[in-house]
Amino acid sequence: MHEIQPELLAQFRPPAYPGSFFLSFEGIEGSGKSTQILNLKNFLEKKMFRVIILREPGGTSFGEKLRSAILNSAAPLHPLAETFLFLASRAQLLDEVTLKELAIPNTVVIYDRYLDSTLAYQGVGRNLGAKTILEAHKIFPLNLVPHLTFYLKISLETSLKRQEKRERDKDYFEAQKNNFHQKLIEGYNQAAELFPQRIATVDGERKEAEVAQDVFAMVNQLLIK
């Protein structure tokens, strides 16, 4: 963390489309991202916003092909290969979908995972370091960040319990050993330290409704700024 210079962090900014907002949700498996994204979508639609939900990797024809290649890989991928596959999907999604949607007034684009997942998974989980990840994102449009990111923080124990209830096979990342997933928590904590004004850490151990109320309150604050 100490090697991250303010000049590097200053390269990152949210998109400038007055009246439209870019949001993201982050967290380890089982943190409740999908549920809270849908809760927020309903909340915002009642306020008459257009709401677009996108996932990473994916969101475009190109990105979905990369998603399948990554998550269904039978062989280990080199950390840099993982990173640049995610960046390729991200750049395409920003250019093809996100920026065009945000240009339409009264729009909220919500991402299920974004830059902070790369900081956690590849930066810490794969030991590339936060500086390497941030340096790779300096070029537009990869230097765009959400106006607000919700990091739904849970313990590894909670994550494992919630995953046990799922009736599906584990993907490439879910199948990693527990020490990898513990490092992801460290990675998300680091991301929250790097971007304290953007990332809101939310206690995801609580009941769904309690988490949702916190999210709604913070979004309301953003909307009235």
95-131 pLDDT per residue, tens: 999 999 999 999 999 999 999 999 999 999 999 999 9
Looking at this protein, which amino acid is placed at residue 121?
Y
Using only the alpha carbons of the chain, give its radius of gyration.
17
Q: Cα(first)–Cα(last) distance of the chain, in Å?
A: 30
Considering the domain delimited by 6-223, tell me its CATH architecture: 3-Layer(aba) Sandwich (3.40)
List the beta bridge partners of residue 26.
Answer: 151
3-49 pLDDT per residue, tens: 899 999 999 999 999 999 999 999 999 999 999 999 999 999 999 99
Q: What Cα–Cα distance (Å) separates residue 211 from each residue in 108, 206, 218?
A: 20, 6, 11
